[in-house]
């Protein structure tokens, strides 16, 4: 009897102590849930127990091998959680605090950070650490570097689902209009209405665009685009988008054109619909070669600006976005279409990558 009991106990506790489940990138088109050690917080760091996370389009690029990360890395960069452990030197927080951590975790101390370029912390794209250069959020626990700069406490009035999309897509999306310095009354065109493009539409709306034209062919996304603030949605499969935007703006073109896809074609279209002196605000991630057509760029003499932005991170950015949600100015919960447990995260990847079942964003509960 005694031996049997011991065996049963062993079976029940087969989980090695100090380990957690995490989604590991093993190589292109090869991800799997594995048992890995629970991280420990050193000086200035924190460990959070992840309560909700999501899958980003960038994670799909990583999965396909289109964006390179090292095999063995835990991926994911959009964490909501509860503080599990605080390293020395992190003050003003208590174990058990609910926190949102941005996808980008700036140190707050380097040249780039102190020049206001948080996303470029430590070097180009250096602010993006989770699931890129260090272990990410699609796991039960997550080590947060530079915790003092990156843990944003969540109000009791806000649910995990209300804030999870702020970590990346909201911060990235709304930054397009911010970086373009969109003025009240400006007109805007937003190319592509995936999760980031939809948030870019929200941003243009919040910044005071008078007229927002979105470009999208998927009917579900087109409908969501109107809900998020677009006045008109053009289907590029049914019309000449450049001509139609010119017509809708009485020949002027738009003040701000936002590119949220990352292709040569959309970048060119965005440039072609710009008003004189307008700004092309680019959020897309491009690969291969990118060229600027000379004619819509007015041979470089047209006073047109092209600006790019990588997701602004840090706790103050997260606090501001959460305030927007708290006061009813921003609600991205309609974008959450599917919910999965961490055990089924590979199914969630399939659904998300294949754009099946009207999926917009999936959320994952560890
Ligand atoms: Zn992302
Ligand atoms: Zn820095």
For the chain, what is the largest distance between any 2 Cα atoms, rounded to a whole number of angstroms? 87
pLDDT of residue 181: 98
Cβ neighbours, 10 Å, residue 123: 10
Ligand having the closest approach to the CA of 109: 2
- How many Å lie between the centroid of ligand 2 and the Cα of residue 115? 9
Q: What is the pLDDT of residues 186-227, one digit of tens each?
A: 999 999 999 999 999 999 999 999 999 999 999 999 999 999
Dihedrals phi, psi of 199, to nearest 5 degrees: -70, -30
Unique residue bearing structure tokens 């605080």: 86
pLDDT of residue 13: 57
Q: What is the pTM of this model?
A: 0.93
User: How far is it, in rounded angstroms, from Cα 220 to Cα 58?
Assistant: 21
User: How far is it, in rounded angstroms, from Cα 179 to Cα 193?
Assistant: 19
Return the minimum-mean-pLDDT range out of 252-256, 299-303, 320-324: 299-303
Residue-wise DSSP of 234-275: E-TTTS-HHHHHHHHTTTS-EEEEEE-S--HHHHHHHHHTEE
Per-residue confidence band for 239, with pLDDT thresholds at 50, 70 and 90: very high
First to last CA, the chain: 36
User: How far is it, in rounded angstroms, from Cα 189 to Cα 125?
Assistant: 26
User: How far is it, in rounded angstroms, from Cα 140 to Cα 19?
Assistant: 9
pLDDT of residue 15: 80
Cβ atoms 345, 139 nearer than 8 A: no
Distance of CA 294 to the CA centre of its chain: 32
Per-residue confidence band for 1, with pLDDT thresholds at 50, 70 and 90: very low
pLDDT of residue 287: 83
Per-residue confidence band for 3, with pLDDT thresholds at 50, 70 and 90: very low
Query: How buried is 173 (Cβ within 10 angstroms: 0-12 exposed, 13-18 middle, 19+ buried)?
Result: buried
- How many Å lie between the centroid of ligand 2 and the Cα of residue 100? 19
Cβ atoms 88, 148 nearer than 8 A: no
- How many Å lie between the centroid of ligand 1 and the Cα of residue 130? 10
- How many Å lie between the centroid of ligand 2 and the Cα of residue 34? 31
- How many Å lie between the centroid of ligand 1 and the Cα of residue 131? 10
- How many Å lie between the centroid of ligand 2 and the Cα of residue 122? 5
Cβ neighbours, 10 Å, residue 356: 10
- How many Å lie between the centroid of ligand 1 and the Cα of residue 64? 15
- How many Å lie between the centroid of ligand 2 and the Cα of residue 117? 8
Among residues 340, 210, 358, which one has the least CA distance to residue 275? 210
pLDDT of residue 16: 86
- How many Å lie between the centroid of ligand 2 and the Cα of residue 109? 5
Per-residue confidence band for 238, with pLDDT thresholds at 50, 70 and 90: very high
Among residues 236, 235, 273, which one has the least CA distance to residue 252? 273
- How many Å lie between the centroid of ligand 2 and the Cα of residue 333? 31
What contacts 340, CB < 8 A, 6 or more positions away?
Answer: 347, 348, 362, 363, 364, 365
What contacts 79, CB < 8 A, 6 or more positions away?
Answer: 48, 50, 53, 100, 101, 130, 137, 142, 144, 167
Residues of the chain with pLDDT > 70, as a percent, come to: 96
Among residues 3, 19, 315, which one has the least CA distance to residue 167? 315
- pLDDT, averaged across the chain: 95
Helices (H), the chain: 2-12, 57-63, 111-114, 147-150, 160-163, 169-179, 195-206, 219-227, 241-248, 264-272, 315-326, 345-353
Q: What is the pLDDT of residues 12-22, one digit of tens each?
A: 557 888 999 99
Q: What is the pLDDT of residues 25-34, one digit of tens each?
A: 999 999 999 9
In the predicted structure, residue 291 carries a pLDDT above the cut 60: yes
Which residues neighbour ligand 2 (ion) by CB within 5 Å? 106-107, 110, 113, 121
Query: How buried is 293 (Cβ within 10 angstroms: 0-12 exposed, 13-18 middle, 19+ buried)?
Result: exposed
Q: E strand or H helix at 24, and its extent?
A: strand 19-27
Helix (H, G, I), strand (E, B) or coil at 140: coil
């Amino acid at each position: 009897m005694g031996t049997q009991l011991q065996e049963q106990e062993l079976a029940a506790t087969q989980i090695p102590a100090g380990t957690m489940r995490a989604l590991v990138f093993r190589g292109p088109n090869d991800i799997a849930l594995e048992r890995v050690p629970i991280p420990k917080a050193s000086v200035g760091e924190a460990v959070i127990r992840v309560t909700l996370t999501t899958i980003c389009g960038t994670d799909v690029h990583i999965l396909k091998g289109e964006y390179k990360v090292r095999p063995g890395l835990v991926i994911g960069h959009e964490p909501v959680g509860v503080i599990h452990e605080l390293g020395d030197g992190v003050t003003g927080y208590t174990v058990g605090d609910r926190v949102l951590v941005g996808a980008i975790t700036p140190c707050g101390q380097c040249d780039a950070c102190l020049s206001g370029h948080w996303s470029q912390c430590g070097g180009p794209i250096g602010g993006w650490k989770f699931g890129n250069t260090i272990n990410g959020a699609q796991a039960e626990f997550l080590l947060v570097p530079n915790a003092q700069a990156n843990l944003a406490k969540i109000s009791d009035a806000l649910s995990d689902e209300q804030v999870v999309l702020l970590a990346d897509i909201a911060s990235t999306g709304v930054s397009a209009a911010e970086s373009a310095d969109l003025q009240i009354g400006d007109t805007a065109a937003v190319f592509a209405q995936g999760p980031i493009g939809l948030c870019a539409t929200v941003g243009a709306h919040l910044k005071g665009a008078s007229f927002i034209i979105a470009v999208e062919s998927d009917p579900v996304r087109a409908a969501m685009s109107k809900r998020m603030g677009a006045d008109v949605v053009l289907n590029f499969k049914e019309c000449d988008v450049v001509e139609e935007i010119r017509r809708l703006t009485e020949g002027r073109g738009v003040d701000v054109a936002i590119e949220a896809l990352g292709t040569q074609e959309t970048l060119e279209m965005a440039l072609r619909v710009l008003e004189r002196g307008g700004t092309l605000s680019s959020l897309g991630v491009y690969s291969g070669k990118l060229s600027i057509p000379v004619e819509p760029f007015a041979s470089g003499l047209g006073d047109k600006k092209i600006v790019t932005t990588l997701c602004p991170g840090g706790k103050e950015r997260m606090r501001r976005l959460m305030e927007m949600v708290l006061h009813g100015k921003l609600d991205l919960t309609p974008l959450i279409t599917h919910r999965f447990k961490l055990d089924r995260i590979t199914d969630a990847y399939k659904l998300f990558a294949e754009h099946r079942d009207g999926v917009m964003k999936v959320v994952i509960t560890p």
